[in-house]
């Protein structure tokens, strides 16, 4: 493609950019205008290797022809149709494809448009389930410190990232939190799942002692991503599952980043050997080509809510775009690619190389911890005195200018390349990052 024909904005004023330093960006814009395979291209045509699959979402790589064509075909056939009291075939097919991939017994799929909507939908379904089974006192939702479940009021409240809450004051009532699992004293530089911390799941017993039988659900990310890659200690999620069962509490996994191959299996649940009652997903579901999220529930949850309701609408919840035809087309094509190219298998095959490459940065200046699991790595830097996040942001900017896209959260660098990544890409991502960390004091 002629790079001169790539779109360029004629002013940057109007777009209030999300989760961005708008004032800095508009003085120092860094633009992406095209994407293909493992790479983005700037409007000037400079290549930037994608070390983050966009935002943890383009697992099959960029510009995949099969997905593009499926969207084009569907747009020409039928642009939109409602799914309130009506249906279109492609939405049912997309749900069936998702249900084939989720763990056995998690067979019902509710469509949303994002991870945030999936989180809030899952919480509402959990409350509806408890009410439908005669436990309407169960109104309490338990999250985890440092958890991220998007930006809706439910996900924000159950989430545990202070910075995401401090501007907004009002939170959902009846929410409490488990402690996070980050324990650098015992687990620093652990490879894969850390050894220590299973007992942190027992803190759910303390919350049950405090709140009695008022807890509806616990929601956690199998691997906490946005907070800076916190891998669950060995046995921790199993213990959480046991305690939820013991106390009549639903377990929700937020699989928005761990779904669709990121951990070398279809979902994190499979890799970690724990089946939740409800799982949320988004991102990799459509390879991010069209926004779409989903909530998959156990048949027990669905049957209780649906069959326990009087005739008529069973769940007073839904989005205009639930099961949107273009998103459904993108999901079907993405999940077909996922299988044909065995993306989880590719992730599994390269994971040992990825792990070694990530941990090779352990002696770089200012690196205080490295964590990894599946095709994820978190590299934590010591913050600059009085300026948290500034050091990692400088590393981010240098990497971008040197042709590699990384992601930073605070002073943690989070890497999550498309699952089609190959060894030379891994070498380039880690090499560029290492040079940047060395260059930035």
214 near 137, Cβ under 8 Å? yes
Q: Is 150 in the site for ligand PLP (CB under 6 A)?
A: yes
Q: Which residue from 98, 218, 257, 279 is in contact with ligand PLP, where contact means CB under 6 A?
A: 257
Question: Among 381, 436, 361, which Cα is nearest to 404's?
Answer: 436
Stretch that binds ligand PLP, among 109-117, 259-267, 395-403, 406-414 (CB under 6 A): 109-117
88 near 111, Cβ under 8 Å? no
Q: Which residue from 256, 326, 357, 426 is in contact with ligand PLP, where contact means CB under 6 A?
A: 256
Q: Is 121 in the site for ligand PLP (CB under 6 A)?
A: no
- Total number of residues binding ligand PLP (CB under 6 A)? 14
Q: Is 225 in the site for ligand PLP (CB under 6 A)?
A: yes
DSSP 357-413: HHHGGGGSTTEEEEEEETTEEEEEEPPBTTBTTHHHHHHHHHHHHTTEE-EEETTEE
Q: Is 149 in the site for ligand PLP (CB under 6 A)?
A: yes
DSSP 86-117: ---HHHHHHHHHHHHHSPTT--EEEEESSHHH
Q: Is 282 in the site for ligand PLP (CB under 6 A)?
A: yes
Q: Is 143 in the site for ligand PLP (CB under 6 A)?
A: no
Q: Which residue from 116, 328, 416, 432 is in contact with ligand PLP, where contact means CB under 6 A?
A: 116
Q: Is 267 in the site for ligand PLP (CB under 6 A)?
A: no
Q: Is 276 in the site for ligand PLP (CB under 6 A)?
A: no
- In angstroms, rounded to a whole number, what is the distance separating the alpha carbons of residues 167 and 122? 24
The residue sitting closest to ligand PLP, measured at its beta carbon, is 115
Q: Which residue from 48, 91, 106, 119 is in contact with ligand PLP, where contact means CB under 6 A?
A: 119
Tokens for 101, please give them.
Answer: 């991939």
Stretch that binds ligand PLP, among 93-101, 114-122, 414-422, 429-437 (CB under 6 A): 114-122
Stretch that binds ligand PLP, among 92-100, 174-182, 252-260, 295-303 (CB under 6 A): 252-260
Q: 177-199 burial, b for 16+ CB within 10 Å, e for fewer?
A: bbebbbbeeebeebeebbeebbe
Q: Is 157 in the site for ligand PLP (CB under 6 A)?
A: no
- In angstroms, rounded to a whole number, what is the distance separating the alpha carbons of residues 157 and 203? 19
Q: Which residue from 102, 114, 187, 297 is in contact with ligand PLP, where contact means CB under 6 A?
A: 114
Q: Is 115 in the site for ligand PLP (CB under 6 A)?
A: yes
Half-sphere exposure for 225 (CA within 13 Å, toward CB): 26
Tokens for 356, please give them.
Answer: 């070694």
Beta strands at 412-415 and 34-36: parallel, antiparallel or unpaired: unpaired
266 near 419, Cβ under 8 Å? no
Q: Is 254 in the site for ligand PLP (CB under 6 A)?
A: yes
Residues that bind ligand PLP (CB under 6 A): 114-116, 119, 148-150, 221, 225-226, 254, 256-257, 282
């Amino acid at each position: 493609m002629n790079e001169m024909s790539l779109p360029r904005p004629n002013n940057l004023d109007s777009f209030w950019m999300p989760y961005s330093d708008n004032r800095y960006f508009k003085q120092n814009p860094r633009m992406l205008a095209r994407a293909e395979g493992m790479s983005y291209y700037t409007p000037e045509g400079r290549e930037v290797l994608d070390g983050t699959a966009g935002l943890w979402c383009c697992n099959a790589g960029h510009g995949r022809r099969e997905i593009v064509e499926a969207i084009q075909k569907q747009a020409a056939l039928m642009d939109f149709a409602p799914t309130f009291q009506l249906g279109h075939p492609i939405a049912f097919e997309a749900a069936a494809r998702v249900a084939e991939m989720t763990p056995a017994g998690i067979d019902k799929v509710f469509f949303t448009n994002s991870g945030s909507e999936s989180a809030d939908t899952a919480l509402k379904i959990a409350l509806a389930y408890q009410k439908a089974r005669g436990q309407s006192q169960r109104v309490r939702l338990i999250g985890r410190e440092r958890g991220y479940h998007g930006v809706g009021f439910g996900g924000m409240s159950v989430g545990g990232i202070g910075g995401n809450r401090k501007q907004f004051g009002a939170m959902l009532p009846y929410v409490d939190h488990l402690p996070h699992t980050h324990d650098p004293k015992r687990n620093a530089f652990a490879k894969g799942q850390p050894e220590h911390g299973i007992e942190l799941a027992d803190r759910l017993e303390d919350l049950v002692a405090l709140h009695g039988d008022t807890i509806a659900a616990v929601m956690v990310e199998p691997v906490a991503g946005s907070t800076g890659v916190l891998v669950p200690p060995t046995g921790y999620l199993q213990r959480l599952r046991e305690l939820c069962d013991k106390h009549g509490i639903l377990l929700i996994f937020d699989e928005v980043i761990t779904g669709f191959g990121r951990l070398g299996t279809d979902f994190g649940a499979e890799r970690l050997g724990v089946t939740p009652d409800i799982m949320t997903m988004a991102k990799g579901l459509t390879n991010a080509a069209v926004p779409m999220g989903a909530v998959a529930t156990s048949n027990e949850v669905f049957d209780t809510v649906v069959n326990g309701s009087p005739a008529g609408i069973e769940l007073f919840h839904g989005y205009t775009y639930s099961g949107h035809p273009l998103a459904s087309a993108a999901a079907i094509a993405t999940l077909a690619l996922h299988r044909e190219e065995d993306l989880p298998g590719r992730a599994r095959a390269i994971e040992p190389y990825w792990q070694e490459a990530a941990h090779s940065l352990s002696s770089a200046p200012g690196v205080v911890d490295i964590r990894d699991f599946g095709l994820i790595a978190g590299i934590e830097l010591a913050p600059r005195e009085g300026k948290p996040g500034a050091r990692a942001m400088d590393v981010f900017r240098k990497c971008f200018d040197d042709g590699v896209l990384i992601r930073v959260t605070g002073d943690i660098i989070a890497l999550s390349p498309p699952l089609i990544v190959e060894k030379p890409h891994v070498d380039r991502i880690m090499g560029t990052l290492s040079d940047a960390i060395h260059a930035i004091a």
